[in-house]
Structure 1
Amino acid sequence: MQQLINHIAAHPIVPVFYDDDVERCISVLEASYKGGIRVFEFVHRGVNALENFEVLLAYKKAHFHDLSLGIGTIKTAELAKTYAAIGADFIVSPIVNPAIAEETLAKGKLWIPGCLTPTEIALAESLGAPLVKIFPGDLVGPGFVKSIKPLFPNTKFMITGGVEVEESNVKNWLSAGATALGLGSKLFQNTGANTGAANAADELASRCEKLLSWTKK
């Protein structure tokens, strides 16, 4: 688990994506990888989520051996167990659910629970979560992370929601103490990723390259 956390810290830009069309999912995964992405979060938000994730896992194993592929929007222990069993590298939740901790952390699988208050962070920490998701990040801002970081020196933070595709925003989050940044719609907007536009892959890869370059000190 620690090796995976180190991998996330070394590759701190995490695309967060879902589409019903599995071919489009593969295209987005390929473009993201081409742009330097090595941690990718698919989300359980559609009827084809499980089926598409299984395809992406197989594709990753065949082509992207150094990519960590996780599943997000997991709200129940049953779903966590299902995705862990098929090989998800990590499980992300929008909530803190002790039952999910039992299906993941207790079995050596990285679980990243979503938190928005110090009380929720403390609960996640007590359950053994070494990395928590601050969500939605735009409700609190980098100042919140900077303020709470001293209270939880052993906990790492991934920010999702409110991360902009601009250098100052990326640097502000990281300097405040964030370990990783998850980007969903803001990463994919105007790239054509959700429409299959011809230049979508190149635009997305370029955007990922820029984001990763801004994380370098």
Structure 2
Amino acid sequence: MALRKAARHTGPGYDLGANVITFEEALEAAPVIAILRGLEPEQAGAVGAVLFEAGIRIIEVPLNSPRPLQSIAMLAKALGERAVIGAGTVLSAQAVRDVDRAGGRLIVAPNTDERVIAETKKLGLVSLPGFFTPTEAFQALEAGADYLKLFPGDAVQPKVVGALRAVLPPEAGIVVTGGVGVGNIAEFFAAGAMAVAVGSSIFKPGKPVERIGADAADLIAAWKTGKAA
């Protein structure tokens, strides 16, 4: 499935270099978004490093984490040109502006809020709103969303992704979020998912950094195995 090219970031929070990785390039490298809910800023550098080493190129820090904007800023400074750093649980236009100033380039929401989508696109960021029904999916696309977050993913079977793909525009990539792990990641991609977003299978507060890296590497290996099958 061809990817829709999201606009390059042009906001004040991030100075794009000539070789900065785009969201689409990051997806092509590995279609896995690491969700770091509960991340402390003091951990951000070390966690970001092991995730990058494992092959992950997209990292999301939910805004209900401790001092999330600080973590986003630290990750953006350390990995910003080599990875796409963004925020999750973004619920207002002001939050979009805050993430932009921190250097985030991806705005992820659990819901479809036209105000959040509009502000995201105004600032040149990548919009990934949440949906659960076809009605919400089409509303998000009409509002300007770049891609769609199917949430909660642990409430659906992979065949649901296939059914949605049959009615959504070809460029409307679906990111399955929640309930994805080593055991089922290949099934979701086989059904037509563009990417998956994974939280607790990779990261939990207090989890040793080495284990985070190892679990991320296992997930990437499972995706590659499924891709080759």
CA contact 1:16–1:183 (8 Å) conserved in 2: yes
Secondary structure, aligned partner of 2:64: coil
How many residues get paired? 208
**SS at 1:175 equivalent:** helix
Mapped to 2, the partners of 1:186 and 1:205 lie a distance apart of 8
Contact 1:135 1:159 in 2 (8 A): yes
- Give a deviation string over 1:121-154, Cα, whole Å, max 9, x none: 0100101213110000111221111011121123
For 1:171 and 1:77, the matched residues in 2 are separated by 35
Please list every run of 5 or more consecutive structure 1 residues that lacks an aligned counterpart in the other structure: none
CA drift of 1:20 comes to 4.7
Q: Secondary structure at the match of 1:187?
A: coil
Task: Provide the C-alpha distance between the structure 2 equivalents of 1:118 and 1:51, rounded to a whole number of angstroms.
Answer: 35
Change (3 A) 1:186 1:20: closer
What code does the residue aligned with 2:194 have?
T
Counterpart of 1:170? 185
Which of 199, 203, 216 does residue 184 from structure 1 map onto? 199
CA contact (8 A) 2:45 2:75 kept: yes
Root-mean-square deviation (CA, aligned residues, Å) is 2.1
Cα deviation 1:54-90 (Å, max 9, x = unaligned): 12211224xxx32111111101111011112332111
Cα offset for 1:186? Answer: 1.9
Aligned to 1:117: 133
Report the TM-score, using the length of structure 1 for normalisation: 0.86
Asked if residue 157 in structure 1 is aligned to residue 168 in structure 2, the reply is no
State the identity %. Answer: 26
Q: 2:94 — aligned with what?
A: 78
Report the alpha carbon displacement of residue 204 of structure 1 after superposing the two structures with TM: 3.5
**What letter corresponds to residue 88 of structure 1 in structure 2?**
G
Distance 1:155 1:202 in 2: 30
Shift in Å at residue 37 of structure 1?
Answer: 0.8
- The reply to whether residue 46 of structure 1 matches residue 65 of structure 2 is yes
Does residue 29 of structure 1 match 2:48?
yes
More helix by share: 1
Stretches of structure 2 lacking an aligned partner (at least 5 in a row): 1-5, 8-21
Partners in 1 of 2:44 and 2:32 — Cα distance? Answer: 18
Look up the SS of the partner of 1:186 in the other structure.
coil
Using the TM superposition, give the Cα deviation of residue 107 of structure 1 relative to its aligned residue in structure 2, in angstroms: 3.6
**Preserved CA contact (<8 Å) 2:47 2:209:** no
* 2:74 counterpart of 1:55: yes
User: Partners of 1:32 and 1:156 in 2: how far apart?
Assistant: 23
CA contact (8 A) 1:12 1:215 kept: no
